[in-house]
Each structure stands twice: as C-alpha cells, then as structure tokens.
C-alpha cells in the first residue's frame, strides 16, 4: 500500500513539474468520458469524484454544472494540494479531501452521484472501495465505475509491461465491472467505452522522435476510428443504488 502511494506521489509530482498534466490527446479522451459524466449526472447535485488525482475532471464538470456541490478525494497529498490550488485559481469551491477510498470520511448517503475516471483498475482492494462507495451513495444515487479495459486488442498486459508503471494497475472488462456492482447490490443502468487503443503507438512514435504535434495528429485520427464500445481503451458501467 505504502509503496503504491509512493508510486502515485512520484507520478503526480512528475506531471506537475513537467506541466504535462493535460496533454492534447488526453483532453480529447476526457471529452468522451466527461460527456458520459455530464449525461449521467443530469439532475444530480451532490457529486463526488473519488481518486480525483490533480482535480482536472472536477473542474470541467463544475464548469458545466456550477450549481452542484462537489467533493473530491485522493490519498496523494501532492495531487490533492495541487487540486486545491487549482480550484482556488479557477474559482471552484469544492470539498477537497486527502483520504483513502477504502475508508471514506463521509456519512452514509452523502452523495447522489459518484464518479472517477479509470481509477477502479488502480485499486488493490476493489471490494473494499465499492463497499464504501455504496455506503456513501444515497438511495437511487448513481455510481460510475470506469476502468482500463482488459479486452483491448493491443493487449493491456503489453501496455503495462511497456510503460513500467510505479503503481498498481489491473484491467477489467465491462462484464467484470458489471459483476462487481451487482455483487454489491447495485443495478446496472448504462455502459460506455472511450478512446481507441493507442498508448503503445504513442510510446512508439515518441521513441522514434515524432514530436507532440505530430503524435497528436496521428492519435486523433486513430481515435476517430469506429470501434465497438467493449474494445475501447477504457470501459465503464453506470449503476443505480
């Protein structure tokens, strides 16, 4: 666990130092994901982004839902301090907490919509996290589970070995995510997938010296190709409590 947190601290620190925390291709990926968040959070007002990282998604969601009350949580002090400073700068009044998703510092039924981009596949104890996420969700509230996709055709394990991550990472299929939610008493109400499989292509282009601008062009084209939802880089399931 500690080792994993160290890995995340290093990851966030590097991203902040390089000012590389929002790359163009990333923004494009997030557009598709955030579209799902905005669609499913319609009519919801107490939003919770668990494992929020450096807070970029919360800022965008708040931009489109300025009347919603936003809480965010991450266990990385580096990430959460950065998120707080960013929120202050952008005028987002949010409840930003440094805490663990396995032991949420919120009362039962505190939120009506909980979401997090891809983080479910970074959790070593997914059942413990789900127990807490379900507890803090009010009846009829929605929970979005989103993860790296184990069904991606270019091989999720290959990606993991190529990138050499300093933190825990696994992958799930849509069916596996659905099973998790059902096991915890939730009702699946929607499915989604976003981004095509191009992390390895990005790495390859970088290695052979293609600059960011060129890579963005190639990756945008690839991303626009039609691909079935279940084969996208990230997949997700939306549940009702």
Ligand X SMILES: C[S@@+](CC[C@H](N)C(=O)[O-])C[C@H]1O[C@@H](n2cnc3c(N)ncnc32)[C@H](O)[C@@H]1O
- Which residues would be at the binding site for ligand X (CB under 6 A)? 8, 51-53, 56-57, 74-76, 79, 100-102, 116-119, 122-123
SS3 97: strand
Q: How far apart are CA 168 and CA 101, in angstroms?
A: 15
What are the backbone dihedrals phi and psi of residue 119, each rounded to the nearest 5 degrees, phi first? Answer: -70, -25
Shortest distance, position 101 Cβ to ligand X, whole Å:
4
End-to-end CA distance of the chain: 29
The CA distances from residue 173 to 118, 200, 203, 204, in Å, are 12, 19, 24, 25
| C-beta of residue 80 within 8 angstroms of C-beta of residue 98 | yes
Is 3 or 226 the residue whose CB approaches ligand X more closely? 3
DSSP-assigned letter for residue 184: T
Is 104 or 219 the residue whose CB approaches ligand X more closely? 104
Shortest distance, position 142 Cβ to ligand X, whole Å:
17
Shortest distance, position 13 Cβ to ligand X, whole Å:
11
Is 157 or 187 the residue whose CB approaches ligand X more closely? 157
The CA distances from residue 24 to 59, 64, 222, in Å, are 17, 20, 14
Shortest distance, position 22 Cβ to ligand X, whole Å:
9
Is 102 or 210 the residue whose CB approaches ligand X more closely? 102
For residue 41, give the nearest of 119, 118, 116 by alpha carbon.
Answer: 116
Residue nearest to ligand X (CB): 53
Shortest distance, position 30 Cβ to ligand X, whole Å:
7
The CA distances from residue 10 to 4, 18, 74, 76, 169, in Å, are 10, 12, 14, 10, 15
Is 36 or 57 the residue whose CB approaches ligand X more closely? 57
Shortest distance, position 231 Cβ to ligand X, whole Å:
20
Is 34 or 219 the residue whose CB approaches ligand X more closely? 34
């Amino acid at each position: 666990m500690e080792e994993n947190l160290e890995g995340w601290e290093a990851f966030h620190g590097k991203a902040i130092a390089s000012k590389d925390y929002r790359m163009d291709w990333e923004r494009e990926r997030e557009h598709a994901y955030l579209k799902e968040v905005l669609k499913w959070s319609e009519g919801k007002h107490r939003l919770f982004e668990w494992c929020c990282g450096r807070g970029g998604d919360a800022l965008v969601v708040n931009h489109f839902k300025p009347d919603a009350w936003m809480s965010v949580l991450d266990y990385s002090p580096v990430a959460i301090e950065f998120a707080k400073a960013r929120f202050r700068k952008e005028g987002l009044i949010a409840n930003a907490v440094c805490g663990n998703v396995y032991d949420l510092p919120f009362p039962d039924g505190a939120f009506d919509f909980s979401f997090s981009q891809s983080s479910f596949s970074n959790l070593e104890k997914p059942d413990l996290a789900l127990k807490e996420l379900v507890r803090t969700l009010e009846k009829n509230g929605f929970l979005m589970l989103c993860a790296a996709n184990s069904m991606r055709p270019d091989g999720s394990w290959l990606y993991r070995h190529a990138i050499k991550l300093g933190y825990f990472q696994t992958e799930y299929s849509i069916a596996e995510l659905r099973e998790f939610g059902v096991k915890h008493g939730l009702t699946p109400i929607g499915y989604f997938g976003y981004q095509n499989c191009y992390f390895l292509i990005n790495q390859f282009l970088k290695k052979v010296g293609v600059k960011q601008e060129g890579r963005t062009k190639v990756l945008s084209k690839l991303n626009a190709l039609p691909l079935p939802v279940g084969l996208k880089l990230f997949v997700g399931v939306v549940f009702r409590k």
